[in-house]
Structures are given as structure tokens and as C-alpha cells.
Amino acid sequence: MPEEDAEFTRDPADVEVEDMSYQAHIGTFSDADRELLIESQCCITGKEVKHSFCRYPDKERGTVMVMSRETMLKFSRGGQSLIAEFEKVLEKRREAERRRTRRK
């Protein structure tokens, strides 16, 4: 497993989305004509995130990816682009989805 992938503890295509009733009380990330559900797990580690500090839309799924505070600090202190990290996750998700589609 490449060093950059060592942090992934699960398939990035497998995420949980917060209950929609919960969203009504907290709010959502708005897209031009629809609301996106906020994922409840850090997109990097897979650990549950109660308070997300960084969010990035996954428009194909209609969700907003979140990054835990610890993960965000790790990447930002290292001088890495958080957007680039979210884009890597999106790329891995699309690859995993393509593999699943080919199996069917």
C-alpha cells in the first residue's frame, strides 16, 4: 500500500451520511438548487466527526465530505493543500465506484 494511502482505514466509497432529520436542525451545505447532506465520518480516517472544520462537496453523491480537526491540522501544518486532499478522496471514490460497476 503506498504511503499516502496508509491513512485510509476503509474504502473511501463507503461513508455514512447524517440523518436528514438531524440536518433540518443543523443546516446543510447549499448547492445552487439543492441541499447536500453532510457526511458524518472524516473522509480521510473514517472516524465519526461530530464537529467538522473543513467541508468539501461531493456533488456526484449529493453530500458534503468532512475532515476531522486532527486530520485538518495534520495536513495544514504540513503545508499541504486541504482542497488537494479532498480531491484525492474524490478520485479514490470514483475509482472504487467504477470497480463496483464493472463487477456487476
pLDDT tens, residue by residue, 51-80: 877 999 999 999 999 999 999 999 999 888
Nearest to 58 by CA among 87, 34, 32: 87
By the 10 Å C-beta count (0-12 exposed, 13-18 middle, 19+ buried), 69 is classed as middle
Distance CA 14, CA 26 (A): 23
Share above pLDDT 90 across residues of the chain, in percent, rounded to a whole number: 47
pLDDT for residue 52? 72
pLDDT by residue (tens digit) across 4-27? 444 445 555 555 554 433 343 344
